[in-house]
Amino acid sequence: MMRFALSLARREFVRFIRQPQRVVGSIGQPLLFWAFLGAGLTPSFNPPGMEGMTYLEYFYPGVLMMLILFASIFSTITVIEDRDQGFLQGVLVAPVPRLSIVVGKVGGAAAIAMFQALILLIAAPFIGLMPGIGGSLMVVAALALTSLGFAGLGFSIAWTMKSTAGFHAIMMVFLFPLWLLSGALFPMNNVPAWLDFVMTINPVTHALNVVRGPFYEAPGALFSSGEWLTSLAVLLAWVVLVLWLSVKRVNKREMGAKPSAATA
């Protein structure tokens, strides 16, 4: 099973590397956001309890999330073209477990996202974020889970779509706001109650908490923090849910309508 998935994931990665525009585009955009917003908002950024933190630093985990969001989406969007007239047709008629199609495609997309996130992690020490070995590993693991979450979400949406244009619409009104309202851009302190509610039920908020934690606190402290563990549970649940949904979608065959008494 895993062998099929690995073959498919490797294909995703090779395709990505061979399209340099994609590499440049998906790393470049978050970097520009980070640099511009960081520079522009740092002077006015002064939320209670975060004295001394520059916006550049506050926004950093959010930029990692954004990068992962875009990388996952750009990878899973290929599902739409591939499924009805392309490579995936051949995969669907091959004797391959449906689960490995999902794991291969989602895993490949997540690997691409991780590859870019790791490049951006090089910047962490320069803004004073230096977690220890354990903390660094936890950051990487948290980013990997987030990648699976976003890639799985993108996959399960893309699978049912007929056109990439439709997917772009969904991205702008659903996926991007998920990131926007995750605490990536602004902290949750003192926001209106409705916004607080939306941000609390947003799984990306929790993913961001899980990523942000190890930058500031020791692993031991995090594993005894109820808040962080809750966020971790939400993140895990999100990943499992989107993977399950994806497998369910792939398993679904186009069904003929049952003949009614009149037409039979």
Partner 1 sequence: MIDIEHLKHIYPGSRRQPARTAIHDLSMTVGDGSFCILSGPNGSGKSTLFRILCGLAAPSAGRVRVAGHDMATDAAEVRRIMGVVFQSPAVDKHLSVGENIALHASLYGIRGTELQERMADALSWTDLKDRLGDRVETLSGGLARQVELAKCLLTRPRVLLLDEPTTGLDPASRWSFLTVLRRVQRERGMTVLMTSHVFGEAEDADSVAIMRDGRLIAHDTPAGLRARVGQEVLVIQTRDAEALRPRLAETLGLAVGRYGDELRVDDLPPAEVPRIVEKALNAHRADIQSIAVKQPTLEDVFIHITGKRPAEAGAASDAGGADAKARREGAPA
User: Is residue 15 a contact residue for partner 1 (CB under 8 A)?
Assistant: yes
Roughly how many angstroms between the first and final C-alpha of the chain, as a whole number? 41
User: Is residue 258 a contact residue for partner 1 (CB under 8 A)?
Assistant: yes
Q: How far is CA 209 from the centre of its chain?
A: 14
Among 165, 173, 257, 261, indicate the residue that binds partner 1 (CB under 8 A): 257
With both helix axes pointing from N to C terminus, report the angle between 55-76 and 203-216 in degrees, rounded to the nearest 10: 130
What sign results for the dihedral spanned by CA atoms 72, 74, 78, 80?
positive
User: Is residue 263 a contact residue for partner 1 (CB under 8 A)?
Assistant: yes
Q: How far is CA 142 from the centre of its chain?
A: 11
Are 147 and 33 contacting, i.e. CB atoms less than 8 angstroms apart?
Answer: no
Nearer Cβ to partner 1, position 46 or 251? 251
Restricted to residues 165-204, the positions that interact with partner 1 (CB under 8 A) are none
- Token match 């591939």: residue? 82
Q: How far is the CB of 24 from partner 1 (least distance, A)?
A: 16
User: Is residue 253 a contact residue for partner 1 (CB under 8 A)?
Assistant: yes
Residues 6+ positions from 75 with CB-CB distance below 8 Å: 12, 16, 108, 109, 112, 113, 151, 154
User: Is residue 7 a contact residue for partner 1 (CB under 8 A)?
Assistant: yes
Nearer Cβ to partner 1, position 165 or 264? 264
Contacts with partner 1, 84-113, as mask; x by CB under 8 A: xxxxxxxxxxxxx-----------------
User: Is residue 25 a contact residue for partner 1 (CB under 8 A)?
Assistant: no
For partner 1, the binding residues (CB under 8 A) are 3-4, 7-8, 11, 14-15, 18-19, 84-96, 253-259, 263-264
